[in-house]
Amino acid sequence: MSKVTYFSGESFPLEMHKVRIIQKLTLLPIEERLRAVEEAGYNTFLLQNSDVFLDMLTDSGVNAMSDRQQAAMLTADDAYAGSATFTRLHAKLQEVFGKKYFLPTHQGRAAEHILALGFVKPGMVVPTNYHFTTTKAHITAAGGEVVELIEPSGLAVTSDEKFKGNVDVAAFERLADERGAENIAFFRVEAGTNLVGGQPFSLANLRAVSHACRRRGVPLVMDASLLADNLYFVKAREPECADWSVADIWLAMSELCDVIYFSARKLGFGRGGGIITDDQKIYESLRAWVPMYEGFLTYGGMSVREMEAITVGLDETLDEDMINQGPLFIAHFVDEMDRRGIPVVTPAGGLGAHVDAMRFLDHVDQRYYPSGALAAAVYLASGVRGMERGTMSEQREPDGSEPLAHMELLRLALPRRVFTLSQVQYAVDRIHWLYANRRIVGGLEWTEEPEILRFFYGRLKPVGDWQHALVAKFREDFGASL
Ligand code: F0G
C-alpha cells in the first residue's frame, strides 16, 4: 500500500500490486440468501461458499498468493524425508525469527496441540493477553486453565490506546505470586490479538512480559499467527521503532520469546504452521509428537507446494508495502463505518473490521447471541459472510453454565490482497442500511449445540420471525435490486 498524498487532501489506500487472476462471484437475491442462511442453521460457518458474495469469514488460508509464490510452488521438491523444500523453509524461518529449531505442523492449532501435550499438566495455568478459541480448547483439554491478563483498554470497544493487545504485567506478577511459577505451564502472548479485534501489543510491553517471565523461569510462548499485522503496527505506532526495518522488529520480538508457533494460513500467505525455538531441550521434548500426529519432521502434514509458498510469503512479509495492505484497507473499512455512526472497534486493528454487536443490537439480550444474530443479518442484507466473535465462540463451563463474552463482535475479515475498495464500499453501504433498520433484528437460540467448539457447526434459529420482516423491509427500500 502506498502512502501517496492526494491532491484533494483526502486519503485512500492504494494497492502496490495488480490483480492478474480473478474468480467470478455471484450475488444472490435476498430471498435466496434467506433460504441459504436457513439451511445453514443461521451459522455463517455452515453457509456454502457458492451462496456467499464477499467471504469475510476469515483471513485464514484464503489470502491471495503472489506470482512469486505460485512460481515457487512449481519448484517444490516432493520427498517424504529431507526435501530441499523443507530446507528452504527452515532456512527462511531461521533468518526471520533468528532461532535454530523448527517443528512443522499441518496448521496452527496442531502446534497448539503439541505445545499443550508438552507443557500443560492438569491444574496448571496458562496466562495470556487473550485466549484464542482453539488454543483454549487444547489447554483445557490437557487439564489446564487459561487466565487472561490483557490491559483493560483491550476490552474497551473504543479507545485511543495504540496497543490494545498489551499485557497487564503487574497482574502477571500477582498471578505468579499466588499460583507459584512452577504451576505456570507457560505464558502465551498472542500477536495481533484475534478475539479483541486484531489488536497489537507493543515491543516495549513484550519486553516487560519477557523480563517478568525470565525472572521467574516461566517460558514465554508467542502465537505469531497474526504477527504480520503486529509488526506493521509496531513500526507505524511505536516511536522507538519508526526507523527500524520490519526484519529488525521481527528479530527483536523473537529474541524475547522462548517458543514461537504460528498458523501459516495467516503468517506467510500459505497453509500450514509450526513451532520454533532455540532451546534444544524444548525442541527434543516436543519432537516426538510431530511424527505421531502430524507427519515426518520434514513436512509435518504440509504439502511441499504449500511449504514453498510459505517460504516466499515470509519473505514478502518483510516488505512493508505488502504487510500494510491489510491494516490500511481495514482502517478504511472501519473509518467508513464509523463516519456513518455504525459502532465499530477502534482504533482499527489487523485481520478485519470489527462491528460492536452489543451496541448495534443493544435490544438483544447477550444470551440470545447478538453477534451471531448480526452475522446472519449482515449475510441476509448483503451476501457478505462475517464471523461471530462473542458468546457463541465461548465454551460452557464444566458445570454447564455459559460465560458471557467480554465483547460481542461481528468480525468482517479482509483476506490480504483479495477484495477491492468498491467491494468494501458495498459492504459498508449494506451494513449502514442494516444499522438504520437494526430494531427489526432479534436474537438466535440453539437448535443443536455441540459440546466442544460449538460455534463451528452448531445450528440455531431466530427468536421470533425477524428474518422475514428484514427481507420485506429490504424489498421495500431497494425494490428489485440485489
Ligand atoms: N492462533 C490464532 C491467533 C489464530 O487466529 C488461529 C486461527 C490459530 C491460532 C489456529 O490456527 O487455523 O491454522 O489451526 N484463526 C483462524 C481465524 C481460524 O479465522 O481467525 P489454524
Residues 6 or more apart whose CB falls under 8 angstroms from that of 77 comprise: 83, 84, 85, 304
pLDDT digits (tens, 9 = 90+) for 415-464: 999 999 999 999 999 999 999 999 999 999 999 999 988 999 999 999 99
CA 329 from chain centre, in angstroms, equals 16
- The answer to whether the CB of 109 is under 6 A from ligand 1 is yes
pLDDT above 80: residue 263: yes
- The answer to whether the CB of 442 is under 6 A from ligand 1 is no
Cα gap 73→84, rounded to integer Å: 13
Residues 6 or more apart whose CB falls under 8 angstroms from that of 479 comprise: none
Q: Which residue has the cell 515457487?
A: 72
11 pLDDT band (50/70/90 cuts)? confident
336: nearest Cα among 229, 422, 233, 419: 422
Cα gap 172→237, rounded to integer Å: 25
Q: One of 3, 35, 80, 457 is an active-site residue; which one?
A: 80
**Helix H or strand E encompassing 232:** helix 227-237
- Backbone φ and ψ for 309, nearest 5 degrees, come out as -65, -40
pLDDT digits (tens, 9 = 90+) for 361-384: 999 999 999 999 999 999 999 999
360 pLDDT band (50/70/90 cuts)? very high
Cα gap 439→286, rounded to integer Å: 52
- The answer to whether the CB of 225 is under 6 A from ligand 1 is yes
pLDDT at 241: 98
230 pLDDT band (50/70/90 cuts)? very high
pLDDT at 395: 86
234: nearest Cα among 221, 254, 250: 250
- Backbone φ and ψ for 354, nearest 5 degrees, come out as -125, 120
pLDDT above 80: residue 30: yes
For residues 177-197, give the mean pLDDT. Answer: 97
Indicate the SS3 state at residue 103.
strand
- The answer to whether the CB of 132 is under 6 A from ligand 1 is yes
pLDDT at 478: 96
Ligand 1 centroid vs 152 CA: distance in angstroms?
23
Q: One of 223, 229, 278, 315 is an active-site residue; which one?
A: 223
Ligand 1 centroid vs 461 CA: distance in angstroms?
27
pLDDT above 80: residue 2: no
pTM summary value: 0.95
pLDDT above 70: residue 182: yes
**Helix H or strand E encompassing 388:** strand 387-389
pLDDT above 90: residue 5: no
1 pLDDT band (50/70/90 cuts)? low
209: nearest Cα among 138, 162, 258, 274: 258
Stronger pLDDT, 6 or 304, i.e. the higher one? 304
Indicate the SS3 state at residue 403.
coil
**Helix H or strand E encompassing 160:** none
Cα gap 150→222, rounded to integer Å: 14
Which residue is closest in CA terms to ligand 1's atom 18?
60
pLDDT above 70: residue 139: yes
Query: Which residue spans within 205-290 are E strands per DSSP?
Result: 220-223, 259-263, 273-277
283 pLDDT band (50/70/90 cuts)? very high
Q: Which residue has the cell 509458498?
A: 309
All three cell numbers of 233, joined, read 503496527
For residues 120-128, give the mean pLDDT. Answer: 98
Query: Which residue spans within 29-175 are E strands per DSSP?
Result: 54-55, 101-105, 125-128, 145-148
Spatial contact of 444 and 372, defined as CB atoms under 8 Å apart = yes
Indicate the SS3 state at residue 172.
helix
357 pLDDT band (50/70/90 cuts)? very high
**Cα separations in angstroms, 335 against 157, 236, 457:** 14, 18, 32
CA 238 from chain centre, in angstroms, equals 22
Indicate the SS3 state at residue 126.
strand
- Backbone φ and ψ for 188, nearest 5 degrees, come out as -110, 120
Sign of CA pseudo-dihedral 145, 279, 102, 130: positive
253 pLDDT band (50/70/90 cuts)? very high
pLDDT digits (tens, 9 = 90+) for 151-161: 999 999 999 99
- The answer to whether the CB of 270 is under 6 A from ligand 1 is no
85: nearest Cα among 99, 70, 72, 95: 72
Cα gap 237→347, rounded to integer Å: 11
Spatial contact of 324 and 139, defined as CB atoms under 8 Å apart = no
pLDDT at 429: 98
Q: One of 266, 416, 430, 454 is an active-site residue; which one?
A: 266
DSSP 301-363: T--HHHHHHHHHHHHHHT-HHHHTHHHHHHHHHHHHHHHTT--B-BS--SSEEEEEHHHHTTT
Instruction: Give percent of the chain with pLDDT exceeding 70.
Output: 99
pLDDT above 80: residue 18: yes
For residues 305-327, give the mean pLDDT. Answer: 96
pLDDT at 4: 81
pLDDT above 90: residue 3: no
Cα gap 392→405, rounded to integer Å: 8
142 pLDDT band (50/70/90 cuts)? very high
Alpha helices in 61-119 (DSSP H): 67-73, 84-97, 108-119
